[in-house]
């Protein structure tokens, strides 16, 4: 580790076919040519964990692929992990524990996991107990992570625009409070800018103020863009959502309406932050440009590039 605020940037693998080792190998070969240091490996695309258990043969295959490339890696643990799903907690815990073990084996020093969510009725009945249980579980996981040399980054999710469930970390300020109360040296935040931008109109908070507050707990980023328009109608085709500018689009930075001019200077991240990108596979044609944008953001936060230089790297779809 260094004394830099940001120590790595890079793309993700969430669009890979499940268990496609050859596809991962080809993708990493391409990624090596871009201006990035790390790749965020999407655990649910590896097919290495089944029922909370590591499949040793599959884990070995993927390790060979990862080690064949001159890149470093971080992990997005399975999106389904939910420490507030108390009736099924044992399997969530087993999955989280196995994910930390994969990080240890693969030399990954950051692991993203999702904050908790429950149906509204459960939240109203058990709010305080759920929050306490999640904190205690995070501290327990933090102990395992610290032994493995891994920092856990808990991500803010998207508020349910239909109001059927409570997403506890949809307001980044509330997630910041939860992590502060957990108070574990191996537990921090993952700031997903797009998620916060979509949650702000649903939960009626100020986007910039909320992410600024959360940023002090953050050491992992999910960089992408959208228009801040919640998906109320549930369009089945992603292409329609893209055309309309609705929902969690995971666009290149600058293609949506997040005001990066205001966002960049407001952030106060923890040291050793990873500036990772979550880009939809449909934008692979410009992924090299997006990687360069993330690198420019990282250089700005490290005081190696002026704000104007970082903003110059932000592209819009109108640019040729």
**For 20-52, what is each residue's pLDDT tens digit?**
999 999 999 999 999 999 999 999 999 999 999
Q: What is the pLDDT of residues 208-217, one digit of tens each?
A: 999 999 999 9
pLDDT of residue 2: 59
**Beta-carbon neighbour count of residue 88 at 10 Å?**
10
The per-residue pLDDT for 320 is 65
Q: What is the pLDDT of residues 170-210, one digit of tens each?
A: 999 999 999 999 999 999 999 999 999 999 999 999 999 99
Q: What is the mean pLDDT of the chain?
A: 96
pLDDT in tens, 216-248: 999 999 999 999 999 998 788 999 999 999 999
Instruction: Grade residue 267 by pLDDT with cuts at 50, 70 and 90.
Output: very high
Domains of the chain with CATH codes: 6-312 (3.20.20.150)
Question: CA–CA distance from 252 to each of 3, 152, 169, 193, 299 (Å)?
Answer: 29, 25, 24, 12, 18
Strand partners, 76: 42, 112
Neighbours of 52 (CB within 10 A): 16
Q: What pTM was estimated for this model as a whole?
A: 0.97
């Amino acid at each position: 580790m260094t004394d830099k605020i940001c120590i790595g940037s890079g793309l993700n693998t969430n669009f890979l076919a499940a268990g496609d080792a050859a596809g991962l190998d080809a993708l990493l070969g391409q990624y090596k040519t871009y201006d990035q240091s790390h790749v965020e490996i999407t655990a649910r695309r590896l097919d290495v964990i089944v029922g909370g258990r590591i499949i040793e043969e599959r884990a070995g295959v993927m390790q060979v692929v990862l080690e064949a490339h001159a890149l470093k890696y971080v992990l997005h643990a399975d999106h389904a992990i939910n420490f507030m799903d108390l009736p099924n907690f044992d399997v969530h815990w087993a999955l989280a524990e196995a994910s930390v073990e994969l990080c240890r084996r693969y030399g990954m020093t950051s692991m993203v996991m999702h904050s908790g969510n429950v149906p509204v009725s459960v939240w109203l009945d058990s709010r305080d107990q759920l929050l306490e249980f999640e904190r205690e579980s995070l501290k327990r996981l933090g102990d395992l992570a610290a032994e493995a040399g891994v920092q856990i980054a808990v991500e803010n999710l998207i508020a349910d625009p239909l109001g059927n469930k409570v997403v506890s970390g949809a307001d980044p300020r509330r997630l910041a409070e939860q992590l502060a109360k957990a108070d574990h040296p191996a537990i921090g935040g993952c700031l997903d800018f797009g998620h916060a931008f979509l949650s702000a109109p649903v939960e009626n908070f100020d986007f910039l103020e909320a992410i600024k507050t959360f940023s002090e707990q953050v050491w992992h980023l999910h960089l992408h863009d959208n228009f801040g328009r919640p998906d109320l109608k549930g369009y089945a085709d992603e292409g329609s959502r893209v055309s309309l500018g609705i929902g969690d689009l995971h666009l290149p930075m600058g293609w949506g309406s997040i005001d990066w001019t205001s966002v960049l200077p407001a952030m106060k991240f923890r040291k050793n932050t990873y500036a990772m990108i979550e880009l939809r596979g449909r934008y692979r044609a410009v992924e090299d440009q997006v990687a360069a944008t993330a690198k420019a953001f990282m250089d700005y936060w490290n005081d190696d590039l002026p704000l104007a230089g970082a903003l110059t790297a932000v592209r819009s779809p109108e640019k040729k």
